[in-house]
């Protein structure tokens, strides 16, 4: 327990310098041979009480303890019987004699001291009087102390139910007095005289100050503890080499207790009969490791013995009337709460959990995470999720791993602002940030404590990624795959993805082109047609030079199954396109124009051995076009659409009606004869709208869909695609 801070403004600055040792939550103790309070001893043998989560421990008595909410400033005096109690606003202290507990409530104009088991209070007035301004100087046992500056100097007064008396024994010129509990018989008093800052022991029975010692400048901001046999204090607070000293009161010998050279701002100390206990407050919320965070006991009887760790951290601590220490802190495996530390004569002090907050001390990963199924066609191909953590002083890593390929995506967060930590997965995996493939994934979240308190927490699980089939996605990762056949007949697949980071958004290559196989020179026509045969990936149609059409089903890994013969007679068609659902049944259909200019619809059946229903005549007049591309929905309505380039390089849009037919054409623009190939690639950017790609020897260009039939494409953007395009090469 610590002395109360004076309220007189003229003393505030001096108190901050001279009395700062008693301004924080310290561990001031009584002799270990003092008779233990029955209520306190009994509480440790029963089930732990409930301790408020946010509260600090501000006082410990015989039958009650005091908690303080640092956010609201409310203090509550609680019973050891059930943890309930009385709340107070403003400054409140809990003081004790050997048998009784007292609540000291400090107001602006008076101090009220009340025995927790009695109704009549002691009222001590504060403020301006005829002899000077009276300020609260502290309290100890059943006494309240005030100081007043008179014409003859500063006077310290002791107030009890028996009356008021003047404290004697101060050297001449003593000012800025402050009082705090020390032992049952003495209070700790700090003051300043003409020679500097000092501390002494105030005999509570006689009201006399004695055993006066000078305080060094280095101890001005430190903590202090007193027992019948020793005085301990710290020096060098706020530096990387704090020091701890213990004075033997019988011999006046001072020795330094070795501490690690680590930063300390709130080192708290206490004395048991044979031990000095120390710990740096605030370790649980710290973002760095510090050996001073642990509540540690150092033997005063065996200096050669190694220090003993008692708790992993503390936030606040006080002394109990029975000679033990009470600490609001935590221990891995037992959790957060109020612990009692007592010297039982054993090899180390005994630690008992008296009241629990119900919170773990180690890092725990709570609720949250990814859904069982993730549809990356939604929300621009991104997924937002969150996890709850038991504390914020952690280094978090989330790993998503595609089971089949082993490719991963990792997200990090260090020392987040709150315990609920949001993450956003951009829908990519691997070092090239390619689109995440469909299928099974595992997730793992790791939370490493930045302060070193407890082990790294780990939680694992799984989920499934789903996307709609894209006509130009052959390895199932939602990226744009362009297939090209070289002059030797080898088929190549170039995987790419849309990166929002490359040139403020650009389609770029994932890896070098991959060989799909040889012998493809037997075909004079190859088309990517989307999911034609019922599998969840895109397929190919290839027509040989005899007019036989073959179906190659995609296998989802970038290759194709053994070809299946669709039928003959397809040499009658000069243009073939597919990949768009033109009839509204959810399956991609195929369009073909014969050499007389008639457009035919081949409705998909979803059956690989018989993929088309009987062809349906759409209409004549299509001979004037050099290129058709079934684009999917680019006009804003649900059915699939079609674009066609005429001989003059003008591109025309045909909006689908959903029954395989089209509305009258609308002019898109001219200049499209600059492209050797025009490819309907579906949604290549993850924005939910179908796109178009134009390929030429001078560069490859992306036309992003707008979803508007009157202006279906944005201005063209240069792609990072590296496929070389020439007149003898087939690209699709």
- Map 530-567 to HEC letters: ECCCCCCCCEEEEEECCCCEEEECECCCCCECCCEEEE
Pair 233, 222: CB distance under 8 Å: yes
CA 33 to the chain's CA centroid: 48
Pair 34, 227: CB distance under 8 Å: no
Residue 556 confidence (pLDDT): 85
Residue 726 confidence (pLDDT): 55
Pair 300, 274: CB distance under 8 Å: yes
Q: Is 15 helix (H, G, I), strand (E, B) or coil?
A: helix
Pair 661, 641: CB distance under 8 Å: no
CA distances from 658 to 36, 246, 601, 681 (A): 88, 90, 12, 20
146 Cβ contact partners less than 8 Å away, ≥ 6 residues apart: 111, 124, 126, 134, 135, 136, 137, 156, 157, 159
Residue 51 confidence (pLDDT): 96
Q: Which two tokens stand for residue 121?
A: 């209070």
CA distances from 655 to 586, 631, 632, 659, 684 (A): 17, 10, 10, 11, 20
Phi/psi at 82 (nearest 5 deg)?
A: -140, 0
Q: Is 379 helix (H, G, I), strand (E, B) or coil?
A: helix
Give the CA dihedral 679, 681, 685, 689, nearest 10 degrees. Answer: 110
Pair 207, 160: CB distance under 8 Å: no
Pair 308, 297: CB distance under 8 Å: yes
Distance, in Å, from the CA atom of 56 to the CA atom of 285, rounded to the nearest integer, reads 14
The helix, strand and coil proportions of the chain, stated in percent and rounded to the nearest 5, come to: 5, 50, 45
Phi/psi at 322 (nearest 5 deg)?
A: -90, 5
CA 390 to the chain's CA centroid: 10
DSSP 588-632: -EEEEEETTS-EEEE-B-S-SSS-B-S-EEEES--TTEEEEEEEE
Distance, in Å, from the CA atom of 696 to the CA atom of 729, rounded to the nearest integer, reads 11
Residue 147 confidence (pLDDT): 96
Distance, in Å, from the CA atom of 167 to the CA atom of 146, rounded to the nearest integer, reads 10
Residue ranges of the chain with per-residue pLDDT less than 70: 1-46, 217-220, 722-730
Distance, in Å, from the CA atom of 575 to the CA atom of 565, rounded to the nearest integer, reads 19
Q: Which two tokens stand for residue 591?
A: 């369009």
Task: Print burial letters for 281-304: b (CB count within 10 Å at least 16), e (below 16).
Answer: bbbbebeeebebbbbbbbbbeeee
Residue 688 confidence (pLDDT): 80
Q: In which residue are the tokens 């004569």 written?
A: 345
pTM above 0.85, yes or no: no
477 Cβ contact partners less than 8 Å away, ≥ 6 residues apart: 429, 434, 435, 436, 437, 438, 495, 497
176 Cβ contact partners less than 8 Å away, ≥ 6 residues apart: 6, 11, 14, 15, 18, 19, 154, 191, 192
Pair 530, 552: CB distance under 8 Å: no
Pair 7, 136: CB distance under 8 Å: yes
Write out the H or E segment, with its range, that includes residue 331.
strand 325-331
Distance, in Å, from the CA atom of 311 to the CA atom of 339, rounded to the nearest integer, reads 9
Residue 517 confidence (pLDDT): 92
CB-count exposure of residue 583 (10 Å: 0-12, 13-18, 19+):
buried
Q: Smallest Cα–Cα separation from 397: which of 337, 341, 445, 326?
A: 445
CA 160 to the chain's CA centroid: 52
Residue 557 confidence (pLDDT): 87
CA distances from 181 to 103, 115, 321, 511 (A): 14, 17, 10, 73
Pair 270, 260: CB distance under 8 Å: no
């Amino acid at each position: 327990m610590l002395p109360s801070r004076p309220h007189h403004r003229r003393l505030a600055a001096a108190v901050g310098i001279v009395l700062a040792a008693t301004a924080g939550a310290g561990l001031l103790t009584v002799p270990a041979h003092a008779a233990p309070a029955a209520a306190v001893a009994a509480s440790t043998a029963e089930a732990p009480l409930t301790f408020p989560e946010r509260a600090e421990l501000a006082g410990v008595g015989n039958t009650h303890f005091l908690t303080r909410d640092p956010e609201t400033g409310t203090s509550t005096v609680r019973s050891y019987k059930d943890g309930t109690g009385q709340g107070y606003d403003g400054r409140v202290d809990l003081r004790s004699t050997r048998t009784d507990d007292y609540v000291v409530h400090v107001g602006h104009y008076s101090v009220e001291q009340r025995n927790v088991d009695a109704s009549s209070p002691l009222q001590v007035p504060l403020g301006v009087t005829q002899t000077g301004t009276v300020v609260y100087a502290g309290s100890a046992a059943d006494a309240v102390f005030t100081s007043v500056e008179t014409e003859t100097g500063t006077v310290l007064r002791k107030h009890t139910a028996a009356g008021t008396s003047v404290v004697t024994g101060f050297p001449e010129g003593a000012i800025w007095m402050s009082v705090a509990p020390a032992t049952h018989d003495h209070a700790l008093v700090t003051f300043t005289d003409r020679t500097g800052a000092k501390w002494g022991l105030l005999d509570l029975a006689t009201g006399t100050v004695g055993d006066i010692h000078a305080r060094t400048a280095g101890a001005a901001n430190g903590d202090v503890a007193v027992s019948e046999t020793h005085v301990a204090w710290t020096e060098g607070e706020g530096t990387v080499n704090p020091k701890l000293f213990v004075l033997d009161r019988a011999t006046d010998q001072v020795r330094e207790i070795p501490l690690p050279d680590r930063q300390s701002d709130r080192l708290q100390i206490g004395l048991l009969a044979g031990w000095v206990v120390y710990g740096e407050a605030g370790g649980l919320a710290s973002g760095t490791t510090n050996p001073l965070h642990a509540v540690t006991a150092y033997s005063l009887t065996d200096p050669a013995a190694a220090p003993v760790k008692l708790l992993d951290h503390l936030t606040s601590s006080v002394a109990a009337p029975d000679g033990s220490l009470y600490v609001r802190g935590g221990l891995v495996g037992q959790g957060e709460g109020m612990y009692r530390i007592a010297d039982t004569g054993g090899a180390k002090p005994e630690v008992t959990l008296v009241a629990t907050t119900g919170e773990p001390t180690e890092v725990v990963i709570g609720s949250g995470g990814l859904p069982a199924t993730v549809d990356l066609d939604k929300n621009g191909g991104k997924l937002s999720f969150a996890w709850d953590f038991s504390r914020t002083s952690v280094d978090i890593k989330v790993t998503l791993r595609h089971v089949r390929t082993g490719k991963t995506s990792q997200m990090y967060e260090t020392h987040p602002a709150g315990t609920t930590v949001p993450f956003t997965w951009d829908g990519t995996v691997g070092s090239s940030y390619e689109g995440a493939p469909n299928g099974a994934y595992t997730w793992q979240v790791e939370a490493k404590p930045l302060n070193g308190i407890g082990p790294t927490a780990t939680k694992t699980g799984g989920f499934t990624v789903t996307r709609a089939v894209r006509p130009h996605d052959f390895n199932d990762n939602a990226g744009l795959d362009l297939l090209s056949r070289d002059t030797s007949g080898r088929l190549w697949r170039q995987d790419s993805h849309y990166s929002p980071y490359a040139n403020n958004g650009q389609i770029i290559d994932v890896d070098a082109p991959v060989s799909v196989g040889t012998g493809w020179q037997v075909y004079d026509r190859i088309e990517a047609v989307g999911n034609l045969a019922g599998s969840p990936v895109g397929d190919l149609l290839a027509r040989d030079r005899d007019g036989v059409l073959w179906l190659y089903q995609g296998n989802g890994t970038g290759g194709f199954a053994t070809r299946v013969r669709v039928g003959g007679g397809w040499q009658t068609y000069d243009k073939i396109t597919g990949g768009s659902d033109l009839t509204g049944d959810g399956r991609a259909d195929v369009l073909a124009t014969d050499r007389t200019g008639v457009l035919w619809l081949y409705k998909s059946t979803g059956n690989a051995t018989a993929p088309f229903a009987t062809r349906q005549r759409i209409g004549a007049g299509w001979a004037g076009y050099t290129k058709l591309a079934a684009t999917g929905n680019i006009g804003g309505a649900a059915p699939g659409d079609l674009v066609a380039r005429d001989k003059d390089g003008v591109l025309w849009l045909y909006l689908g009606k959903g029954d395989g037919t089209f509305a009258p054409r609308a002019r898109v623009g001219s200049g499209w004869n600059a492209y050797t190939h025009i490819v309907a690639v579906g949604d290549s950017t993850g924005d939910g709208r179908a796109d178009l790609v134009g390929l030429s020897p001078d560069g490859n260009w992306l036309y992003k869909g707008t979803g508007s039939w009157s202006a279906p494409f944005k201005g063209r953007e240069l792609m990072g695609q590296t496929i070389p395009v020439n007149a003898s090469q087939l690209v699709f």
